[in-house]
Amino acid sequence: MSASASSFSSVPAPPMRWDGWGDPDRETVLSDAMLGLIRDALGVRGDARSRHTPDDVVVPDCRLTDDDLAELTGIVGEDHVSRAPVDRLLRAAGRSTPDLLRRRATTQSAPDAVVVPGSTDEVAAVVAWCADADVAVVTYGGGTAVTGGLAPLAGGHRAVISLDMRRFDGLVDLDEVSRIAALGAGVTGPRAEELLAEHGLSLGHFPQSFRYATVGGFAVTRSSGQASAGYGRFDEMVVGLTLVTPRGVLRLGPVERSAAGPDLRQLVLGSEGTFGVVTEVSLRVHPVPEAVVAQAWRLPDFASGAAAVRTVARSDARPTVLRMSDEAETAVNLASPGAIGADGSPGGCLVITRFEGTERDCADRRARVADLLTEAGATDLGPEPAQAWAHGRFDAPYLRDALLAIGVGCETVETATTWSGVVSLRTAVSDALTTALGSDDGPFAASPAMVLCHISHTYATAASLYFTVVYRLDERDAVGQWEAAKEAASRAIVDHRATITHHHAIGTDHRAHLAAEIGDLGVQVLRAVKATLDPSGVMNPGKLIP
Amino acid sequence: MSASASSFSSVPAPPMRWDGWGDPDRETVLSDAMLGLIRDALGVRGDARSRHTPDDVVVPDCRLTDDDLAELTGIVGEDHVSRAPVDRLLRAAGRSTPDLLRRRATTQSAPDAVVVPGSTDEVAAVVAWCADADVAVVTYGGGTAVTGGLAPLAGGHRAVISLDMRRFDGLVDLDEVSRIAALGAGVTGPRAEELLAEHGLSLGHFPQSFRYATVGGFAVTRSSGQASAGYGRFDEMVVGLTLVTPRGVLRLGPVERSAAGPDLRQLVLGSEGTFGVVTEVSLRVHPVPEAVVAQAWRLPDFASGAAAVRTVARSDARPTVLRMSDEAETAVNLASPGAIGADGSPGGCLVITRFEGTERDCADRRARVADLLTEAGATDLGPEPAQAWAHGRFDAPYLRDALLAIGVGCETVETATTWSGVVSLRTAVSDALTTALGSDDGPFAASPAMVLCHISHTYATAASLYFTVVYRLDERDAVGQWEAAKEAASRAIVDHRATITHHHAIGTDHRAHLAAEIGDLGVQVLRAVKATLDPSGVMNPGKLIP
Give the C-alpha distances (Å, rounded to integers) separating A29 from A34, A46, A409, A468: 10, 12, 16, 20
Q: How many CB pairs under 8 A join A and B?
A: 270
Kindly give the interhelix angle for B514-533 and A514-533, rounded to the nearest 10 degrees.
Answer: 120
CA-to-CA distance for B31 and A237, rounded, in angstroms?
A: 48
**What is the pLDDT confidence band of residue A478, given thresholds at 50, 70 and 90?**
very high
pLDDT of residue A334: 55
The 10s digit of each residue's pLDDT in B468-505 is 999 999 999 999 999 999 999 999 999 999 999 999 99
Mean pLDDT score, A307-332: 94
CA-to-CA distance for B15 and A82, rounded, in angstroms?
A: 70
Mean pLDDT score, B150-154: 98
Cβ A239–B461 below 8 Å, yes or no?
yes
Give the C-alpha distances (Å, rounded to integers) separating B522 from A266, A370, A537, B268, B275: 12, 48, 18, 15, 16
Strand partners for B107: B58
A83-97, A512-526, B48-62, B192-206: lowest mean pLDDT where?
B48-62
pLDDT of residue A345: 58
Mean pLDDT score, B174-196: 98
CA B533 to chain A, closest CA, distance in angstroms equals: 8
B333 has pLDDT over 80: no
Mean pLDDT score, A264-293: 98
Cβ B529–A529 below 8 Å, yes or no?
yes
Mean pLDDT score, A410-417: 98
pLDDT of residue B2: 47
Within 8 A of B500 by CB-CB distance, chain A residues are: 260
Tell me which amino acid residue A475 is.
E
Mean pLDDT score, B366-371: 96
What percentage of residues in chain A have a pLDDT greater than 70? 96
Give the C-alpha distances (Å, rounded to integers) separating A325 from A230, A301, A430, A496: 19, 10, 14, 21
A193-197, A396-400, A466-470, A538-542: lowest mean pLDDT where?
A396-400
pLDDT of residue B48: 86
Element spanning A188, H or E = none
Mean of the per-residue pLDDT values of chain A: 95
Strand partners for B211: none
The 10s digit of each residue's pLDDT in A92-104 is 999 999 999 999 9
End-to-end CA distance of chain B: 33
The 10s digit of each residue's pLDDT in B207-218 is 999 999 999 999
pLDDT of residue A335: 52
**What is the pLDDT confidence band of residue A5, given thresholds at 50, 70 and 90?**
very low
Cβ A365–B316 below 8 Å, yes or no?
yes
Within 8 A of A261 by CB-CB distance, chain B residues are: 270-272, 505-506, 514, 518, 526, 544-545
What percentage of residues in chain A have a pLDDT greater than 90? 89
CA B38 to chain A, closest CA, distance in angstroms equals: 33
B498 touches chain A (CB under 8 A): yes
- Residue A389 CA to its chain's centroid (Å): 19
Strand partners for B140: B164
Nearest by CB: A180 against B259, B418, B505: B418
Within 8 A of A519 by CB-CB distance, chain B residues are: 249-252
CA A522 to chain B, closest CA, distance in angstroms equals: 7
**What is the pLDDT confidence band of residue A341, given thresholds at 50, 70 and 90?**
very low
Alpha helices, H only, B206-301 = 215-220, 228-231, 234-237, 265-268
The 10s digit of each residue's pLDDT in B43-102 is 998 888 888 899 999 999 999 999 999 999 999 999 999 999 999 999 999 999 999 999
- Number of residues in chain A: 546
Mean pLDDT score, A220-233: 97
pTM attached to this predicted model: 0.96
Residue of B nearest to A269 (CA): B262
A457 touches chain B (CB under 8 A): yes
Best B256, B356, B369 member to test A by mutation, with max A CBs in 10 Å, is: B256
Residues 6+ apart with CB under 8 A from B180: A418, A461, B173, B174, B239, B240, B254, B282, B283, B284, B285
Residues 6+ apart with CB under 8 A from B465: B414, B415, B416, B417, B422, B425, B426, B429, B453, B454, B455, B498, B502
A33-42, A142-151, A433-442, A479-488: lowest mean pLDDT where?
A33-42
Nearest by CB: B518 against A235, A249, A264: A264
The domain ranges of chain A are 6-40+48-164, 171-287, 291-392, 396-509
A337 has pLDDT over 90: no
The 10s digit of each residue's pLDDT in A41-68 is 999 988 888 888 999 999 999 999 999 9
Residue of B nearest to A465 (CA): B258
Supply the CATH classification number for the domain A171-287.
3.30.465.10
User: Please, are residues B83 and B133 in contact by the beta-carbon 8 Å criterion?
Assistant: no
* Among B465, B518, B473, residue whose Cα is nearest residue B492: B465
Mean of the per-residue pLDDT values of chain B: 95
Count CB-CB contacts under 10 A for residue B347: 12
Residue of B nearest to A525 (CA): B529
Helices and strands per DSSP (H, E), number in chain A: 18, 18
Strand partners for A19: none
User: Please, are residues B465 and B417 in contact by the beta-carbon 8 Å criterion?
Assistant: yes
* Among A219, A273, A258, residue whose Cα is nearest residue A241: A219
CATH of A291-392, picked from 3.40.1190.20, 3.30.70.3450, 3.40.1520.20, 3.40.630.30, is 3.30.70.3450
By CB neighbour count within 10 A (0-12 exposed, 13-18 middle, 19+ buried), where does A107 fall? Answer: exposed
User: Please, are residues A87 and A5 in contact by the beta-carbon 8 Å criterion?
Assistant: no
B453 has pLDDT over 50: yes
ipTM value greater than 0.90? yes
Fold of B396-509: GMP Synthetase; Chain A, domain 3 (3.30.300)
Nearest by CB: A271 against B224, B255, B262: B262
CA-to-CA distance for B237 and B204, rounded, in angstroms?
A: 9
pLDDT of residue A316: 86
User: Please, are residues B210 and B194 in contact by the beta-carbon 8 Å criterion?
Assistant: no
**DSSP assignment letter at A17:** -
Strand partners for B278: B243
Cβ A416–B501 below 8 Å, yes or no?
no
Domain B51-164 has CATH 3.30.420.10: no
pLDDT of residue B45: 87
Kindly give the interhelix angle for A66-76 and A120-133, rounded to the nearest 10 degrees.
Answer: 160
A209-218, A299-308, B341-350: lowest mean pLDDT where?
B341-350
Selected residue with higher pLDDT from A8 and B88: B88
**What is the pLDDT confidence band of residue B8, given thresholds at 50, 70 and 90?**
low
Selected residue with higher pLDDT from A346 and B377: B377
Fold of A6-40+48-164: 3.30.43
